[in-house]
Chain A
Amino acid sequence: MAFFSSTATVPQNLTFVSSNKLSFSPSSTTSFNFVSFPSFQSKFCKTITSSPQITRAHAPPTPSTETTTASSFHGLCYVVGDNIDTDQIIPAEHLTLVPSKPDEYQKLGSFALIGLPDSYTVRFVESGETKTKYSIIIGGANFGCGSSREHAPVALGASGAAAVVAESYARIFFRNSVATGEVYPLESETRLCEECRTGDVVTVELAENRLINHTSGKEYQLKPIGDAGPVIEAGGIFAYARKTGMIPTR
């Protein structure tokens, strides 16, 4: 399961914690490869390698059983409006890609949010790229409505996004995000989609349920994760089920 399968146990102190500095080095701005840009954006598991290898739901399981909880996400944000449905997140013509196949998983990432109308002048994934430079998506109400396609959170995760902070979610998308671990689905107290602009640098502090917009200097309260918490903390539905004895351990 994505959440906590890790290539290496990473000590907590490598998680980005400072809220007062932008910790990217000048050299990393040349390419918007998501790894070289503030590398702390990789989600629940921290990878300290510089290769684009991301440990995610569909990578081969590792023998390591120790897991690390990410305590924050940091990076550029991409702002969308209300009712962003799954057809906009990943248009149906790309659903022939099977998320559990590693190469097709990567391809899904390159199509993330490609269905957004042309009124979105900045693309989430640049033309010709396979990864996004935005680690956090800020959405309005009812994010992820429409189809049950798990390809939606998968595409976002595969593109390199770490978290979504939306005013509210559609049920199946939220569930799929929690189940796959592809993006951490957070809810805001206010309409952040009206407060933030695409390209703002933000940090999400999970333990404090807080989002900091470094570009505007403002901070916002987020809602606690709620019922999904135990499932996310366990490491997804399979890990949770094993932990609670509902299915046998492997």
Chain B
Amino acid sequence: MASSLVPSPSTSFFHTTKRCHKHASRKIYCSVAAPQQTQRTPSTTGSVKTAMTMTEKIMARASEKQQVRPGDNIWTNVDILMTHDVCGPGSIGIFKKEFGEDAKVWDREKVVIIPDHYIFTSDERANRNVDILRDFCNEQDIKYFYDIKDLSNFKANPDYKGVCHIALAQEGHCRPGEVLLGTDSHTCTAGAFGQFATGIGNTDAGFVLGAGKLLLKVPPTLRFVMDGEMPDYLLAKDLILQIIGEITVAGATYKSMEFVGSTVESLNMEERMTLCNMVVEAGGKNGVIPPDSVTYKYLEGKTSVPYESVYSDQQARFLSGYRFDVTKLEPLVAKPHSPDNRALARECKDVKINRVYIGSCTGGKTEDFMAAAKVFLASGGKKVKVPTFLVPATQKVWMDVYSLPVPGSGGKTCSQIFEEAGCDTPASPSCGACLGGPKDTYARMNEPQVCVSTTNRNFPGRMGHREGEIYLASPYTAAASALTGYVTDPREFLQ
């Protein structure tokens, strides 16, 4: 075996900030003088090998193969399986039926169960579904179960987190190089950490619960290069709406979306998560962003599980590439009723709205609320003209909204700024009305209204009423729209 650049054992498990071409888990011991060979990257050593993209590399490693190609169907080992209250009970049912009533999950530390969808409701079946999760976690001694029992006061539940994708990140379950599967389409959010993360259904999840692996098809990769300094009126949401508008809701079907470029590198983790979150809205299988110091800084103190980043080879082949100069972009919305119905926010300024919703895994993170607060602040004390619903994604986000000072506000918190602007009080953290939910869900659209929302989908009936009209937007655009009562470009306030 040719020798190649191999780090010393003490660093081989830890992250490296360099573009790392070392082959995953190979150790080479040179106890005798070996013939001198030119140092070559693993992708060019040995038998003829094709360079691989990041997604291909992660899947190759997870399937214990040297090499995979797009189109290969491979048995992939799973590092983390996530499920929640909507799909968990069904997945558990299938697990028990197929593996036996007394079967045990493949690894009690790799299953993360996060109730988040229909929590603060009086719907009995919804409440029962959380009970089903609890019974299963007790029986299986699942290590990570973010339980909630007291629905009247989310803070009285120390384990409860909220929206699964944000909880996964905040609790350190997202790690570079790993394979994360979840029973939710927005599981692709975790790709921001440089891992392969995608959504699956109950049957596949039931299979993973018992087997710890799944048959997956290797996707080809679309590469999106974004360069330029991010204008101060744009957010990652605008970038992904730009992309989805460009390639349509089926433009990335069965494909991986890789986001690179100086702009991407300048985004913080939550913004990167927003970018990867809506990959599924373009039909994408997964999204990836190369890990770097921003990733490692975020991960500090969150996980003690060793991980290893992988990066696309220089010669890796991509299905196609797209290049954006972000300095030329403007704030966008996705008009009803499709995430690819892209329009400039300023061209929708005559659209009268009835309400604004700021929340969900897409637009309910700490950075999202900070962004909204920034717009309210910049308006110089204006009040919202329409009901403005705020639903922090997790307990931690809720606490940040109430404790972190907003830059330039003289020490005010987001919550104070929101209150002064006349927004609704930030609600209990959960998925909330992003997907409608039971009829008594806070902020559910029960009448045909027009809503600007920081959420991810606007198909008919998404937030409740079938004739509701949803404009998807960034937190900047949502806040600006709340202030005028019309769809509004945030530059009205930010410049």
A residues whose Cβ falls under 8 Å from a Cβ of B: 57-58, 61, 83, 85, 87-88, 91-93, 95-101, 115-118, 141-142, 145-151, 168-172, 175-176, 179-180, 227, 231, 236-238, 240-241, 246-247, 250
Contact = CB atoms under 8 A, between A and B. Distances in A.
B123 A96 contact: yes
Contacts of B126: 96
B200 A175 contact: yes
B172 interface: no
Contact of B249 (A145, A169, A236, A241): A145
Nearest to A143: B250
Contacts of A91: 436, 461
A87 B97 contact: no
Contacts of A92: 435-437, 462
A104 B75 CA distance: 32
Nearest to B203: A179
Nearest to A84: B459
- Secondary structure call for the A interface: loop
B129 A96 contact: yes
Contacts of B213: 246
A127 to B, nearest CB: 15
A227 B250 contact: no
27 contacts: A85-B457, A87-B435, A87-B460, A88-B460, A91-B436, A92-B462, A93-B438, A96-B86, A96-B126, A98-B125, A99-B93, A100-B92, A115-B466, A117-B460, A145-B283, A147-B184, A150-B202, A168-B253, A170-B283, A176-B203, A231-B215, A238-B98, A241-B215, A246-B75, A247-B207, A247-B210, A250-B100
A238 B126 CA distance: 28
A190 B435 CA distance: 33
A242 B202 CA distance: 18
Contact of A149 (B86, B129, B132, B250): B86
B90 interface: yes
A90 B126 CA distance: 16
Contacts of A146: 185, 457, 459
B437 A172 contact: no
Contacts of A169: 253
Contact of B203 (A96, A118, A170, A236): A236
A121 to B, nearest CB: 14
Given A147-B435, A171-B254, A61 B97 contact: yes
Given A85-B459, A88-B459, A227-B217, A98 B90 contact: yes
Nearest to B202: A150
A168 B250 contact: yes
A97 B132 CA distance: 12
B211 interface: yes
A1 B89 CA distance: 18
Interface of B: 73, 75, 86-87, 89-90, 92-94, 97-98, 100, 117-118, 123, 125-126, 129, 132, 183-185, 187, 199-204, 207, 210-211, 213, 215, 217, 249-250, 253-254, 280, 283, 285, 338, 435-439, 457, 459-462, 464, 466-467
A115 B460 contact: yes
B459 A238 contact: no
Pick from A96, A115, A142, A149 the residue with the most CB of B within 10 Å.
Answer: A96
Nearest to A230: B73
Contacts of B460: 87-88, 115-117
A61 B101 CA distance: 13
B283 A171 contact: yes
Given A93-B436, A98-B93, A117-B466, A240 B215 contact: yes
B430 to A, nearest CB: 13
A123 to B, nearest CB: 13
A149 B125 contact: no
A100 B250 contact: no
Contacts of B184: 147-148
A176 B91 CA distance: 12
B278 to A, nearest CB: 12
Contacts of A179: 201, 203-204, 207
A238 B207 contact: yes
A98 B204 CA distance: 15
A237 B203 contact: yes
A148 B117 CA distance: 14
Nearest to A237: B207
Given A92-B462, A96-B126, A142-B250, 20 more contacts: A58-B93, A83-B338, A85-B459, A87-B462, A93-B436, A96-B123, A141-B250, A145-B283, A147-B185, A149-B201, A172-B199, A172-B201, A175-B201, A176-B203, A179-B203, A179-B207, A236-B203, A238-B98, A246-B75, A250-B100
